[in-house]
Amino acid sequence: ACHGRVAADSDKVKMALPEVKIGIFPGAGGTQRVPRLTDQQQALQMLTSGQTLSPQKAKSMGLIHEIAEPTKLVETAKAMIKNGLKPVAPWDEKGFKLPGGPVYSVAGANLWPPAIAILRRETYGNYPAAAAILKCVYEGLLVPFDTGLRIEQRYFTEIMQTREAAAMIRSLFVSLQELNKGARRPAGVPETKFKKIGVLGAGFMGAGIAYVTAKA
């Protein structure tokens, strides 16, 4: 929602709108801002998957303006302001055009029918939040930004009342945080740190386990 966005150039910096992973979706304008900053295809992929972006990827998509050394974030932000950063959102400027073109265009006709089909294939209709994201973006891009926010609010209210959202928030957020803090750890068992771990199997699952273990 900022007029100017600067990210630190670090492998530790990751950007995402991960709400869909716990059964909801960005309900504070995320479904309206992202597709007005980058093309609709990339916006849909980011919103419906909750994918994580590096600063470089986010900049290439137009989601941030600058990448700076971690120690020069404030300095870079001040320079942006000094160099004429506009205190207005792009969509509030006269003559604003959607990146990639409007919904009712050749590009839109090539994007939306497959997007709906792909989402159905990937989710089998079991993730109402992902379907709601498509509705928010599609309907929101047909109207002014402020009206799009009201559309988003309506769908967000509906999704928050679904059983899927309640179950996913409980299992994948609340309960997971408790587990990460050792909520179910047996009393009296000392903490163990592993220095070497072997993974048997080089298939898709084995490779995934090895990767996650190496990154831990």
pLDDT of amino acid 190: 83
What is d(CA 209, CA 202) in angstroms, rounded to the nearest whole number?
Answer: 10
pLDDT of amino acid 192: 83
What is d(CA 118, CA 202) in angstroms, rounded to the nearest whole number?
Answer: 29
Task: Tell whether 187 is covered by a domain.
Answer: no
Question: pLDDT by residue (tens digit) across 94-140?
Answer: 999 999 899 999 999 999 999 999 999 999 999 999 999 999 999 99
Q: What is the pTM of this model?
A: 0.83
For residue 30, which phi and psi values (nearest 5 degrees)? -60, -40
Residue 36 is part of a domain; what is its CATH number?
3.90.226.10
What is d(CA 39, CA 46) in angstroms, rounded to the nearest whole number?
Answer: 11
pLDDT of amino acid 182: 81
Task: Tell whether 215 is covered by a domain.
Answer: no
> Residue 216 pLDDT more than 80?
no
> Residue 185 pLDDT more than 90?
no
Report whether 15 contacts 63 (CB < 8 A). yes
Report the number of distinct structural domains present in the chain.
Answer: 1
> Residue 194 pLDDT more than 80?
yes
Task: Tell whether 33 is covered by a domain.
Answer: yes
* Domain residue limits at 64: 6-166
Task: Tell whether 198 is covered by a domain.
Answer: no
Report whether 63 contacts 14 (CB < 8 A). no
